[in-house]
Amino acid sequence: MKNYLLQLAEQKSFSENQMKEAVDFILGKEVSESEIAAFLMGLKSKGETVDEIVGIVRAMKANSLTFKKNFVNVLDNCGTGGDGSSSFNVSTTSAFVIAGAGVPVAKHGNRSISSKTGSADVLEYLGVNLNLSAESTEEILQEIGVAFLFAPHVHPNLKKVMTVRKQLKIPTIFNFIGPLTNPIELDYQLLGIYRRDLLNVFAEVLKQLGRKRATVINGAGFMDEASLQGENHFIILDNGMITNHSFYPEEAGLPQYKNSCIKGGDAKENAEILVNVLKGKKGAYRDTVLLNAGIGIFTAGKANTIKVGIQAAKEIIDSGAAYEKLTSLIEKSQAGQMEAI
């Protein structure tokens, strides 16, 4: 560990392989919490490169729960968190709409870290089993087209790093890479990030990770979701090509709402919002989900434009298909096999 820390002290960047080796060491060896803290702060002080982020992600995936099946055309829609908006669970709700469009969704998520209620909190309240075996998770994804991967469960070696993160109380690279570390291989990704200056960085990371197509978005008000408050900035990665874009809600055929209109609460309140949206209740919550689900449907190639994706999302919700995905996930996860840890 000393050599890695000395390299950071000299402000020298790691190659992708060097970073993977360093993080493999942290995750698999007896490394002290002070050494981990020094490593994270050294990276933050130097500034993380695309290659370094890719190396961290590859190390985390190599040390995660093992998934054996090779799925195709799977999407994850997950934000980094950290935007301070206290919004309801937008991406979690949207995942069921995207799945209703026939896009397999492997939703990676965690309990609340920077918001009131994380995806795991709201899904657990609704009855979703968070601690399934890899085999059961794969069966659920194959059978119903949507599965939830609880981050601490699929990344069991991260406990010490998580402890250090909580002690530091300062954002580090681990505050941003959660959505990148899904252990199921993805072809598509909708990634929300609250820092607009990192849009291109994360698009390049997704390119190196082999995504066929991805959208990286920073919403109006610097949300880590698409927002109806105003201008959204986003990047599309399509077969290796990266292009920058922006749009306003009216261009997508949706009304404007302030971000304060989509605030959430505890797990119970957010679960009620999620269910109401999937059952067709109109308003700011639904329209925000329509926007984000529409972008997800577009990202997966099921719609030629975001506007067409939004229209598809409306039809999926109104048909009951999105709500059916939720009830199926609850039922199948409760019947699934728990992972023995």
Binding residues for 5-phospho-alpha-D-ribose 1-diphosphate: 79, 82-83, 87, 89-92, 107-115, 119
Binding residue numbers: 79, 82-83, 87, 89-92, 107-115, 119, 165, 224-225
Q: What's the farthest any 2 CA atoms get from each other in the chain?
A: 59
Nearest to 204 by CA among 13, 61, 51, 15: 51
Question: SS3 sequence, 236-274?
Answer: EEECCEEEEEEECHHHHCCCCCCHHHHECCCHHHHHHHH
188: helix, strand or coil: strand
Q: What is the DSSP letter of 2?
A: H
What's the rounded Cα separation, in Å, for the pair 120 and 28?
26
What is the distance between the terminal CA atoms of the chain, rounded to a whole angstrom?
28
| Burial classification of residue 152, based on how many CB atoms lie within 10 Å of its CB (0-12 exposed, 13-18 middle, 19 or more buried) | middle
Binding residue numbers for anthranilate: 79, 110, 165
Strands 232-238 and 213-218 turn out to be: antiparallel
Residue pair 194/222 in contact by the 8 Å Cβ criterion: yes
- Distance from the Cα of residue 205 to its chain's centroid: 14
Token pair belonging to 252: 């997508």
111: helix, strand or coil: coil
What's the rounded Cα separation, in Å, for the pair 305 and 140?
29
Nearest to 182 by CA among 218, 203, 211: 211
